Chain A
Amino acid sequence: MSAALLEVEGLRVGFGNGTQAVRGISLSVARGETHCLVGESGCGKSVTSLAVMNLLARGAVRTAEGIRFEGREIAGLSEREMGKLRGDAMAMIFQEPMTSLNPAYTVGSQMAEVYVRHRGGSKAAALDRAAHLLGRVGITAPGMRLAQYPHQLSGGLRQRVMIAMALMCDPKLLIADEPTTALDVTVQAQILRLLQELQHELGLAILLITHDLGIVARMAHRVSVMYAGRVVESGPAAELFGRPTHPYTHGLLACVPVPGKIARGEPLGSIPGTVPKIGPGYSGCAFRERCSQAMPACGAGDVPGREAGPEHRYECHLGADWTARLAAEAAA
């Protein structure tokens, strides 16, 4: 396996109010690969992505054993040094398309700015590139859009502008936090196709955060399932979908209605309860209160990491064969 483009090890993020949003996670994204980060609301996906870019809000404390980009340690970089990477080699699309553009400047000026900053050249040349990219994200009449202000654009258009803006400097790594939520399915399909094309053309690596397991199935080479600030299961997409091992992953997959597999009128699967707030000194498995397989060991101490297959890891007291065992017991 070639060295990963982005390697995160032992990342932790805490907030001033005691919330431990990310509790020691590791993940890596290889060149030309899409790594999907999934998990329900509030489990720390956005915080993880912001932590990698070092764009966390004030009051957040980030520690990491290592954050390496192209083999270079970037956790200790100054804001100035990070600034050289951001927008250029690593770009980000935020979850909040409505508020992420500056209301005081035109779309064109905001898009051109990042290109001129990293690549130099004239604003006119940057605007040409901006128009080209707006076309690629499916915006008709890009010339007109460039002259408009954010408030003149719908949410879907703003989201596409953000995507195009992130692609201005041909990044090596794109971190995309729910990049298609405001888009209708056809546009969404077009954007995902564009990302795949760029992946083939330029070897773009993507860290893709999404709720939509359909998108995961379509895009992901590798998947990490997050729960309450931990990556509870990760592995190659086919492996993970074929052999989900953590009870939480099971629950997540059961939430997706699969046509044909689910009879009409049958209630959709859902995981009872909500993600607990994790403060300092929390111990044990954070999923235990919602887990159908919980046992006394889950109540305290560290949860062991286990292997379920090649590069397929999960964190649970249960052995990888627990589903099979359960099925056998039920049959007996």
Chain B
Amino acid sequence: MLIFLARRALLAMLVTLTVLTVSFMLTRLTGDLAIAIAGPQASQADVEIIRKAYGLDRPLLVQFVNWVTDAATGDLGRSFFYQEDVTKLISARLPVTLTLGLTGLSIAILTAIPLGIIAAMREGTLLDRGIMTIAVIGQAMPSFWLGLTLVIIFGLKLQWFPISGVETWQGFVLPGIVLAFSAIPALMRLTRSGMVDALASDYIRTARAKGLSRAAIVLKHALRNAAMPVVAISAVQLGFMLSGSIVIETVFSLHGVGYLGWEAIGKNDFPVVQSVVLFLATVFVVLTLLADLMNAALDPRLRTQ
């Protein structure tokens, strides 16, 4: 168990390092950053001053090592545009993004798992096929389109929810739904297939032979086993959601980390861009680790080896 975790943690660190490298390279490859930062009106002298000020005149390797060591100590540099520490900028916007992600995940889980269970229990029936068709349609729907549609119907026409901002909790509802839609199909399929397997298993026959109630058979004995892959994928889906929040936060003008990143791209604010990428990647890695831990908690075969 400890070896298993150590191996996962090592892997996570390697992934993070790779992402650091890639995000660093990407921002450097898009052209001369000093010119981009200085803007079109700047003179050659201005550009040189900027190049010096941001350390862009140093060799790439030195810049990279500096960026990695600083990042490791929590210093992500200063934003060119806001003239503020990137760490501060991100942490100020973190609550919005996290709330959005967790709202999305909760909606996704609360929809996908019951529907997956129902589909599995009615395997092969019209109801099952109906639910799975909706899943396919959901998967094919682009989230910006769904977002705009929901805004038009529930925000503008019915005026049930605000169309932008998160001054009240209602502001999270529509973006949460849109975000959830990206995760529902995968979670639902996984729940369904896990439940179909579980319900056909010998231990479910044993549970029936013991005369247990239907609820105990389905929820205690089958779902517990079907839940293991679902939990793992949920954590990964939350990662996808947080990265997908760039689109959603833009559509709904929520000032979260995704919005910050999107603005920074437009403004060539490269310390912010590479930090947001790093942040999202780290979230991903942490969530994957968390999924492993939760799986170990759920599956005695992993726990007691």
Contacts and interface: CB of A to CB of B under 8 A. Distances in A.
A209 B284 CA distance: 54
A323 B141 CA distance: 77
A102 interface: yes
B299 interface: yes
Contact of B300 (A83, A91, A104, A113): A104
Interface string A52-87: 010101100000000000000000000110111111
A51 interface: no
Interface in B191-219: 200-203, 205-214, 216
B202 A94 contact: yes
B209 A99 contact: no
B299 A83 contact: no
Contact of A100 (B206, B211, B212, B224): B206
B304 A149 contact: yes
Contact of B211 (A85, A152, A162): A85
Contacts of A88: 211
Contacts of A104: 221, 224-225, 298-300
A155 B221 CA distance: 21
Given A100-B205, A104-B225, A58 B212 contact: no
B7 interface: no
B205 A94 contact: yes
A114 interface: yes
A149 B211 CA distance: 21
A226 interface: no
Interface in A101-120: 101-106, 113-114, 117-118
B304 A91 contact: no
B209 A94 contact: yes
A117 B209 contact: no
B211 A83 contact: yes
B301 interface: yes
A92 B206 CA distance: 8
Contacts of A200: none
Contact of B203 (A58, A100, A113): A100
B203 A117 contact: no
Contact of B202 (A53, A99, A118): A99
Most interface-central of B210, B213, B221 (chain A CB within 10 A) = B210
Interface string A216-232: 00000000000000000
A118 B301 contact: no
Nearest to B222: A102
Given A104-B299, A151-B300, A92 B212 contact: no
Contacts, number: 81
- Chain B binding surface, main DSSP class: helix
Given A94-B202, A94-B205, A86 B210 contact: yes
Given A96-B202, A100-B203, A104-B299, A113 B210 contact: yes
A101 B201 CA distance: 10
A92 B203 contact: no
B232 to A, nearest CB: 15
Nearest to A152: B304
Given A58-B200, A101-B206, A118 B225 contact: no
Given A79-B214, A104-B299, A86 B209 contact: yes
Contacts of B214: 79-80
B299 A117 contact: no
B207 A102 contact: yes
Contact of B210 (A57, A80, A105, A117): A117
A16 to B, nearest CB: 11
Interface string B290-302: 0000000011110
Given A55-B208, A87-B210, A114-B210, A99 B201 contact: yes
A82 B211 CA distance: 7
Nearest to B223: A104
A21 B7 CA distance: 51
A87 B209 contact: yes
B208 A151 contact: no
A55 B203 contact: no
Contacts of B301: 103, 149, 151
Contacts of A91: 209
Interface in B150-191: none
Nearest to A53: B209
B274 to A, nearest CB: 43
Contact of B206 (A57, A94, A117): A94
A102 B298 CA distance: 13
A311 B297 CA distance: 58
B225 A103 contact: yes
Contacts of A101: 203, 206
A105 B207 CA distance: 12
Interface string B112-146: 00000000000000000000000000000000000
Contacts of A99: 201-203
B300 A55 contact: no
Contacts of B202: 94, 96, 99-100
Contacts of A114: 210-212
Interface of A: 53, 55, 57-58, 79-80, 82-88, 91-92, 94, 96, 99-106, 113-114, 117-118, 149, 151-152, 162, 165
What 4 A-B pairs have minimum CB-CB distances, sorted nearest first? A87-B211, A87-B210, A86-B211, A99-B202
Given A102-B203, A117-B210, A117-B213, 6 more contacts: A53-B209, A79-B214, A113-B216, A117-B216, A149-B304, A151-B304
19 contacts: A55-B209, A80-B214, A83-B211, A84-B211, A96-B202, A100-B203, A101-B206, A102-B203, A102-B224, A103-B299, A104-B224, A106-B300, A114-B210, A114-B212, A117-B216, A149-B301, A149-B304, A151-B300, A151-B301
